[in-house]
A and B are shown apart, each in its own frame.
Chain A
Amino acid sequence: MSTFPISIPRPVHPTGIWGWFTTVDHKRIGILYGVTAFIMFLTGGVEAILMRVQLAGPELDIVSAAVFNQLFTMHGTTMIFLAVMPLSAAFFNFIIPLQIGARDVAFPRLNAFSYWTFLAGALMLKLSWIGGATDAGWFGYAPLTSVAQNPGTGIDFWIISLQILGIASLAASFNFIVTVINMRAPGMTMMRLPLFTWMSFITAILLVLAFPVITVALIELTFDRYFMFNFFNVANGGSVVLWQHLFWVFGHPEVYILILPAMGIVSEVLPVFSKKPLFGYKTVVLAGIIIAFMGWMVWSHHMFTVGLGAVANAVFTVTTMLIAVPTGIKVFNWLGTIWGGSIRFTTPMLFSIGFIAMFLMGGISGVMHAVSPSDAQQQDTYFIPAHLHYVLFGGAIMGILSGIFYWFPKYSGKMYSERQGKISFWLIMIGQNVTFFPMHFVGLDGMPRRIYTYADNMGWNFWNGVTTGGAFILVLGFLLVLDNIGRHWKNGEPAPSDPWDARTLEWSIPSPPPEYNFKEIPIVRSLDDWWATKQGGANKEVPASGGSEENGHDIHLPQPSYWPFVSAAGLLIAAYGVVFNDLLIPWGLAAIGLTIGFVGVYAWSLEPVNDPEEEDSTH
């Protein structure tokens, strides 16, 4: 294609910092995602610690009621949207193309755009602490979010940054859906996909379908707040329960968006360190699909006490109980995987086994909530944080930690300290149980959640103290993890390409992988193809490919681009323009930002396409 007059030449092999700004390499973007999300995870941890300190004893006065309410709102929002989701996205980015034998993702620039947009949303949300963050809870129930109840900018920042994060997640998900469907190496049929890729694929589909629902809910809230619309205005007949429906129609699939990638990681790690294939591969995949499907039919179990009526509650009781079945199938198949294996207790393996143990706990307390009459005693008590932390900390975070260590040699090219890793595992394992288990007790003892203080005579003092103590054990554990990763990323022993004697394609290439990933696109002949290749010589034949030109230099890779960064920056400016819409010219800043974003996207779409896959549009 000849150069279009208005297009600016693409950056050629930029280096240093500039290289990171313009990169479209899925591995670099994965690392950016991971590092940013881990930092966000730490900020969410600080918020949690402040809350635990305030609740260490009765009637303490360490943070004020107003600050406490901001803390739990920001903690929830941060952990879900800025930590667990992007940490999973980091693995999607780095690992999926390697696992399916691709040289990049389908839309490298869209991928870069997704990261920069995520960063914009994350910064915007976190910076809202200046001037007062949102304090309406991460679920933002109407009418607490109305202008009358909450005139400050905290809610506005929350709404707009969630919208931006939504754009980031959607962009990434579209990309991964297309990548997984369309960029698999020859022979990599859907039923030969590694489990992590499968679960990520399902997650991406869930995300693409679930996020528009929260987008609409947030748009409605925005219109109510900015233009006095009536969506959640009770005085004009609006229903505050509608918000809850929209929120949880998104919110429950969101739970599976958080947990499925971790389940995928565990399904990779267990077979490798048991030296056995995953037990019941097809069933595990199918169970994942069923969970994703049923995840749409259970949202009202978050609303059992809202008064939907006995019939509605009965229906959602039944669906919620049934969703335990496919979840159970997964757990049993993981047990089947290690059963009869030859188990090596490396750090990632410990975290994966810890995942099963803790997730099971959260799963069972989840079934307890499904029993809606007794849930009436548990709803909105500390029993719920206990349950959700067993699922999202004991589940999602443990799975992610397992992935962080499992793929550490691949993304860093170095080995971490196994001893330190194991110590951190035990600290985190003990710490989370000391922290979250007593929450069951105080919850059943009648302690509501989201209270900034409690009276001395309620009998909640002891276990709250224990919980706070546990939180500090967790801090210690994470400091060790941080040190382990940070120090060894720089100075660790160089990692071999396949340190674990693993089973999937990413271990067939050097650590860290070269920019082009695969010198020759592999031909896949079975599930766990790399393992099969190592075991039987039959698969070792070199693909009959073109030959000499395939030596790294002539592999066409997408070129870096400025435009994803520019578009995301425009979006950030526009977002601030929406919150501060009366600055100088009404909506002026928003218009400027949108113009920059629009120019960015336009220039992007007209940019000379050097990527052979992009150019090839006639199929």
Chain B
Amino acid sequence: MRLQKISKTSFLIATTLLTLLITACYPDHNQSTFDPQGPVAESQLHLFWWIFWGGLVVFVLVEGALVYAMIKFRVRSESDIPAQTHGNTRLEIIWTAVPALLLLIIMVPTINGLFYMYEAPKTTKPEHTLEAIGHQWWFEFRYPDPTNSEKEIVTANEVYIPVGYPVAINLESVDVIHSFWVPKLAGKTDMVPSEGNFMWFQADEPGEYYGQCAEYCGTSHANMKFKVIAVPEPDFKSWLQVQSNPALESSDPLAQEGAGVFKSAGCTGCHATKTVVNKGSKGRVGPNLAHVASRRNLAAGMLRNSDENGSVNDALLQKNLRTWLQDPNEVKPGNLMSSGAQVYTDPDKKLTEEQISQLVHYLSSLK
């Protein structure tokens, strides 16, 4: 009993030390798998440590034997001919059976963990069912509309979840295979076009969790990021309420001109400012912009709009919008807006500085 306790403590200490060793040399670890913040990631890390320590023991023993043999049995004299042993059946049986046994032991928690991550807890509430849809190169998110079961509320690249509740996630893709991954909450699951996938996770602490596409999906695969923001359930509800409202009409004349440009320059062809859509309807080509100014990041996690505490900084947001509108390709190479929108492909229709300013004002008013 006591022995068990000691070994458990030393296991914990060693594990912590090792984590520190790997990660401590520098400040931010936004996607570290060693810092799980929910039960799914925790169970996966737990398994990792099991297999890690087991593997380490095998590694040390075998490498140790190798080094020992190299020192002990190095050549003494050129003419020396060692005993010509051809093998040993008993040894062969031992080193077949022992690893097999070890692997059998590891299999039990592995398969347990496998079924755990594949099935959301029965307590999962239907309104906590998130739909995540992969696009080149951004993420679309949808929650069921609490007021109308036929409708869904749409947002992009940034999604809120209630702390302490399991969230069921249905994964889809509209073009190529992507992968949905928030390392601190759960391992990844692929978003396969036309073959729906499922996963679940839960955040135990409020916070902003980094996510990134983990399956190579084309030119800007590296630039396809998103954020999961965990808040207490009441806050989650009010966020959802805000998200379901249509975009605000601003009284600022510059912003009103921007709204005009938004329509005349063809932005509405791909970007919706309406947030409630029919369940299962096809997404638009570009991210929904109804509440773009309330998001902490722009362009799928490429540009940071918010201060340290997470509140959006208007000056930063406007600067980022300008950067993005001036040359989206600079921020996200190969993006479909710069290859598809006429204002970028046709030099005659290029946005003027004035138009960009108007657009920036309009977009930054979309709280």
Question: Is there a chain B Cβ closer than 8 Å to A215's Cβ?
Answer: no
Inter-chain contact A374/B218, CB cutoff 8 Å:
no
Say whether A544 faces chain B, with CB atoms less than 8 Å apart. no
B111 and A314 contact, CB distance less than 8 A? yes
Chain B residues positioned under 8 Å from A240 (CB to CB)? 177, 192-195
Total chain A interface residues with beta-carbon distance under 8 A: 89
| Top-7 shortest CB links A-B | A376-B187, A446-B31, A451-B222, A373-B113, A280-B87, A307-B197, A310-B118
Q: Are A340 and B195 in contact (CB under 8 A)?
A: no
B103 and A321: CB pair below 8 A? yes
Residues of A with C-beta under 8 A to B116: 373
Contact of A143 among B52, B81, B175 (CB under 8 A): B175
CB-CB contacts below 8 Å: B5-63 with A: 22-23, 25-34, 41, 43-45, 47-48, 50-52, 55, 58-59, 62-63
How far is the CB of A209 from the nearest CB of chain B, in Å? 26
The B-contacting residues of A in range 280-317, CB under 8 angstroms, are 280-283, 305-307, 309-310, 313-314, 317
Per-position binary interface string of chain B over residues 76-108, scored 1 when its CB falls under 8 Å from any chain A CB and 0 otherwise: 110011111111100110011001100100110
Residues of B within 8 A of A144 (CB): 176-177, 216-218
Since A240-B177, A345-B70, A444-B22 are in contact, a sample of 11 more A-B pairs with Cβ atoms closer than 8 Å, ordered by chain A residue number, is A143-B175, A241-B195, A276-B84, A317-B114, A342-B73, A364-B59, A376-B44, A378-B33, A445-B22, A446-B32, A448-B222
Shortest Cβ distance from A446 into chain B, in angstroms?
2
Let me know if B32 and A445 touch, CB within 8 A.
yes
Q: From known contacts A277-B85, A310-B118, A451-B221, infer whether A339 and B183 are also in contact, taking CB-CB under 8 Å.
A: no
Of A149, A357, A377, A454, the contact of B218 (CB 8 Å cutoff) = A149
Tell me the chain A residues, 297-355 only, with Cβ under 8 Å from chain B: 305-307, 309-310, 313-314, 317-318, 321-322, 324-325, 328-329, 331-333, 335-336, 338-345, 353
B188 at the interface (CB under 8 A from A): yes
Q: Which stretch in A26-34, A458-466, A559-567, A575-583 binds the other chain?
A: A458-466
Is there contact, CB below 8 Å, between B45 and A377?
Answer: yes
Cβ-based interface call for A50 (8 A):
no
Instruction: Please measure, in the bound complex, the distance between the C-alpha atom of A444 and the C-alpha atom of B176, giving whole angstroms.
Output: 25
Whether the Cβ atoms of B334 and A65 lie closer than 8 Å is yes
On whether the beta carbons of A380 and B188 are closer than 8 Å, the reply is yes
Partner of A367, one of B26, B51, B111: B51
Residues in B with CB closer than 8 Å to A445 are 22-23, 29, 31-34
The residue from B22, B119, B177 contacting A141, defined by CB atoms under 8 A apart? B177
Instruction: Tell yes or no: A255 within 8 A of B by CB.
Output: no
Chain A residues whose C-beta falls within 8 Å of the C-beta of B293 in the assembled complex: none
Whether, in the assembled complex, A450 has its beta carbon less than 8 Å from a beta carbon of chain B, the answer is yes
- Shortest CB-to-CB span from B105 to chain A, Å, is 10
- A342 & B27 in contact (Cβ 8 Å cutoff): no
Q: Separation in Å of the B5 CB from the closest CB of chain A? A: 25
Q: Given known contacts A275-B81, A446-B29, A459-B30, is B190 in contact with A343 (CB within 8 Å)?
A: no
Residue of A nearest to B93 (CB): A283
Asked if A322 meets B100 with Cβ closer than 8 Å, knowing A149-B176, A373-B117, A444-B22, the reply is yes
**B residues less than 8 Å from A149 (CB atoms):** 175-176, 218
Smallest CB separation, A96 vs chain B (Å): 23
Chain A CB within 10 A, most for which of B23, B51, B58, B65: B51
Residues on the A chain within 8 Å of B177, using CB: 141, 143-144, 240
**Minimum CB distance partner of A458 in chain B:** B30
- Complex contacts, B84 vs chain A, CB 8 Å: 276-277
Which of A274, A317, A335 is close to B66, meaning CB atoms less than 8 Å apart? A335
**Is A454 within 8 A of B92, CB to CB?**
no
- Residues A313 and B73 in contact, CB atoms below 8 Å apart: no
Q: How far is the CA of A379 from the CA of B210 in the complex (A)?
A: 17
Indicate if A457 sits at the interface (CB-CB under 8 A): yes
- Does chain B have a CB within 8 A of A405? no
| Contact yes or no, B58 A317, CB < 8 A | no
Partner of A279, one of B31, B85, B198: B85
* Complex alpha-carbon distance, A343 and B73, angstroms: 6
Interface of A is mostly: helix
9 inter-chain pairs at a CB distance below 8 angstroms, sorted by A residue, are A149-B176, A276-B85, A321-B107, A322-B103, A331-B62, A356-B66, A377-B41, A377-B48, A378-B33
Q: A376 vs B185: C-alpha distance in the bound complex, in angstroms?
A: 12
* A281 surroundings in chain B (CB, below 8 A): 86-87
Q: Give the interface centre of A275, A345, A365 by most chain B CB atoms within 10 Å.
A: A275
CA distance A69 to B192 in the complex (A): 21
- For A149, the closest partner residue in chain B by CB is B176
**How far, in whole Å, are A447 and B29 apart by their CA atoms in the complex?**
10
Query: Which residue, of B32, B33, B91, B100, has the highest number of chain A Cβ atoms within 10 A?
Result: B33
- Asked whether A314 lies within 8 Å of B114 as measured between CB atoms, the reply is yes
- The chain A residue with its CB closest to the CB of B101 is A325
For B119, list chain A residues within 8 Å (CB).
310
> Across the two chains, which residue of chain A brings its CB closest to B29?
A459
B69 contacts the other chain (CB 8 A): yes
Interface assignment of A254: CB less than 8 Å from any CB of chain B: no
CB-based contact A283/B92 at 8 Å: yes
The answer for the CA separation of A345 and B69 in the assembled complex, in Å, is 12
* Contact A361-B59, Cβ < 8 Å, known A368-B48, A380-B214: yes
Question: Which residue from chain A places its CB closest to the CB of B76 in the assembled complex?
Answer: A342
Q: Is A601 an interface residue, CB under 8 A from the partner?
A: no
Q: Which of B25, B28, B181, B186 contacts A458 (CB 8 A)?
A: B28
Interfacial chain A residues near B87, Cβ < 8 Å: 279-283, 333, 336
Contact call A310/B114, Cβ cutoff below 8 A: yes
Decide if B215 is an interface residue (CB 8 Å cutoff): yes
Interface status of B161 (Cβ within 8 A of chain A): no
Contact, CB under 8 Å: B73 / A338: yes
A41 within 8 A of B: no
Does A453 have its Cβ within 8 Å of any Cβ on chain B? yes
The answer to whether B33 and A65 have CB atoms under 8 Å apart is no
The answer to whether the Cβ of A137 comes within 8 Å of any Cβ in the partner chain is yes
A326's closest neighbor in chain B, by CB? Answer: B96
Q: Which residues of B contact A353 (CB under 8 A)?
A: 66, 70
- Judge if B189 is at the interface, Cβ distance under 8 Å: yes
B218-253, CB under 8 A of A: which get 1 and which 0? 111111000000000000000000000000000000
Instruction: Quote the shortest CB–CB distance from A293 to chain B (angstroms).
Output: 16
- The verdict on A305 contacting B58 (CB below 8 Å), with A65-B220, A280-B88 known, is no
CA of A317 to CA of B118, assembled, Å:
15
Contacts of B83 in A (CB 8 A): 276, 340
Looking at the assembled complex, report how far the CB atom of A67 sits from the nearest CB atom of chain B, in whole angstroms.
Answer: 10
B212 at the interface (CB under 8 A from A): yes
**Does residue B333 face the partner (Cβ distance < 8 Å to A)?**
yes
**A324, B85: Cβ atoms under 8 Å?**
no
Q: What are the residues of chain A within 8 A of B32 when measuring CB–CB? A: 444-446, 459
Q: Are A342 and B75 interface neighbours, CB within 8 A?
A: yes
Q: Report the bound CA distance from A459 to B24 in whole Å.
A: 9
Task: Evaluate contact between B73 and A379: CB separation under 8 angstroms.
Answer: no
CA distance A208 to B108 in the complex (A): 36
B33:A444 contact, CB within 8 angstroms:
yes
* Residue B179 lies at the interface, judged by CB distance under 8 Å to chain A: yes
Report the nearest B residue to A444, measured CB to CB: B33
Q: Which of A310, A335, A453, A461 contacts B222 (CB 8 A)?
A: A453
Q: What are the residues of chain B within 8 A of A141 when measuring CB–CB?
A: 176-177, 215-216
Chain B residues, CB < 8 A from A274: 73, 82
CB <8 Å contact, A377 and B183: yes
Q: Which of A143, A277, A307, A374 contacts B187 (CB 8 A)?
A: A374
Residues on A with beta carbons closer than 8 Å to the beta carbon of B29 = 445-446, 458-459
Question: Could you tell me if B334 and A324 are in contact, using CB atoms closer than 8 angstroms?
Answer: no
Q: Does B110 touch A at the CB level, under 8 Å?
A: yes
Say yes or no: A364-B214 contact (C-beta < 8 A), given A306-B190, A343-B70: no
